Structure 1
Amino acid sequence: MLPRYPVLSSWISTGPAPAFVDAVLRLGAARSSSYVCFANVHMVVEAHRQPAFGQVVNRAALVAPDGSPVAAAVRWFGGPAQPRVAGMDALPLLLAEAARRGQSVYFYGTTPEVLGAIEARIRQELPELRLAGLHAPPFRPLTPEEDAEDVARINAADPDLLFVALGCPRQEQWMAAHQGRVRACMLGVGQAFMTYAGLEKRLPAWARRLWLEWAYRLWLEPRRLWRRYLVTNSRFVWLMLRHAAAQVGRKESEPATW
């Protein structure tokens, strides 16, 4: 697997986007019951605030730096310079490579309308891709019987990759709970379903390079996301400043060498 470096209490995988794509496809080909997280600021802060959720994140086979601040923080915490590997960018790359390698995919989450748009795009752009299935579970906790039915349905379809969109932290908790039960590499890609389906536009690349994607998402869904972005992002900045101050203090306390 790819080298990992700490950002707060989360261990972030590092490497270029093609290395992540290859690692994921290898997990899928091995039929490894594993999962992959795409860590943005919200996930990293929640993992730091809630140790149980932090364990869920750190047990993942890969933890991609989904957010630009998380990718930058890898370097701040002593790791290498790391590009952002966003779920929204990784999803089309993974589908194209899965088609090239003859691997199959399954989509789990969101709504039938979103899944229908995803299927239509795949049929048009990647007709050779093996689409094993799509399923939108209800927006409520499943009964044990319903959950067992979903697991049986997924395993019967026998996908290499299972893309999961249930929202953070629910999708990460779902993947961790189903490790060993679902025979596929599970990937929590959340909002990537909407953008791939063409139902939500992304900011231009220049705006993403300026870390403005959070502001755009807040503008789209202010009621749902105001706390996540304004409170959580502020906490992330504060934690980064505290880390920087601790690093400075540590260097000042080191004895001088002559």
Structure 2
Amino acid sequence: MHKNRINILGTEFDNYTEKQFHKYLSDDMDGRSNKFIVTANPEMVLSAQKNPKFSKVVNSADYVIPDGIGIIKGAKTLGTPMHERITGFDTLMFLLQAANRKQLKVYLLGSKPEVIEASAKRIEREYPQLDLVGYHDGYFKDNQVIVDEIAEKKPNIVLVALGYPKQEFFINEYRKDIDAIWIGVGGSFDVFSGTKKRAPVILQKLGLEWTYRLFKEPTRIGRMLAIPKYMNLIRAEKKSQEK
């Protein structure tokens, strides 16, 4: 499955078109496979560089998809162009639509109580064929209690919004107990629930979603600085390749 992985500063990305990726996921759902999806952006690549344990978890996932225009730009600069950006949010929407069509069981974990409640309500309203077997906010002390609850519900898909690297470590540790498609969705429930707005489509197409986020939440400036830092590392990597 991973013959075509592309290494970006130590993180290995799958190079699929979104259509190919969706086909694989659809087959995985039909086969009741146990799969782990990581949606990685430049910030996570930098984090994985600093944290070998995190890097190992990410690179051992079944799918690592390029969530962020920076990944696509980086790949191009390094001479290993990738097909296209595949966002975590779009993947979340695809999984919900497919689960609705195939009448599968879904479990939600993470976010603030009001965000996860609102997300659950929207799923029940818009995806009536999908079986939402349970949900829990991200404020829990005992992992095992949560994992036992998820195992009891036997979901086909588990959407985990604990923020990186926590969600990836959690999935990596507990997925072996529950055959499902596991994905870390970060802040996607904030947008899905309507708590936060997604950038206008034109900015999404131009790869400028980050400017919208920064405008909406100026406190994100620290996180945004990861992008120029990442691009500098990409350029340094390119130079060392050329020597």
* TM-score normalized with structure 1 length: 0.86
Q: Which residue is equivalent to 1:188?
A: 184
Check if 1:153 corresponds to 2:149. yes
Matched-pair contact (CA < 8 Å) for 1:115–1:136: yes
Give the total of aligned pairs: 242
| Structure 1 residue corresponding to 2:200, chosen from 204, 225, 246 | 204
Counterparts of residues 78-227 of structure 1 (less than 5 Å): 78-138=79-139, 142=141, 146-223=142-219, 225-227=220-222
Cα distance in structure 2, aligned partners of 1:149 and 1:50: 28
What is the RMSD computed on CA atoms of the aligned residues? 1.9
| Aligned counterpart, 2:61 | 60
Write the letter of the residue equivalent to 2:13: I
- Which letter maps to 1:191? G
Answer yes or no: is the 8 Å Cα contact 1:12–1:74 preserved in 2: no
Bigger radius of gyration: 1
In percent, how many aligned pairs have the same letter? 33
**Distance of aligned partners of 1:76 and 1:226 in 2 relative to their CA distance in 1, 3 Å threshold:** same
Amino acid at match of 1:215: T
Q: Does 1:239 align with 2:233?
A: yes
* TM-aligned CA deviation for residue 105 of structure 1: 1.2
Aligned to 1:229: 224
Asked if the contact 2:35/2:181 (under 8 Å) is kept, the reply is yes
Distance 2:110 2:23 in 1: 24
The answer to whether the 8 Å contact 2:109/2:136 transfers is yes
Deviations 1:61-107 (A, max 9, x none): 10110001112323333434321111111211111112212322111
Using a 3 Å threshold, how does the CA distance of structure 1 residues 217 and 79 change in structure 2: closer, same or farther? same
How much does 1:27 deviate?
Answer: 3.5
Structure 2 unpaired stretches of 5+ = none
CA offsets per residue over residues 9-30 of structure 1, 9 Å max, x none?
0000121223222323433444
Q: 1:217 to 1:150 in 2, by over 3 A?
A: same
TM-score norm. by structure 2 comes to: 0.91
Specify the code of the residue in structure 1 equivalent to 2:223.
R
Kept after mapping to 2: 8 A contact 1:110/1:136: yes
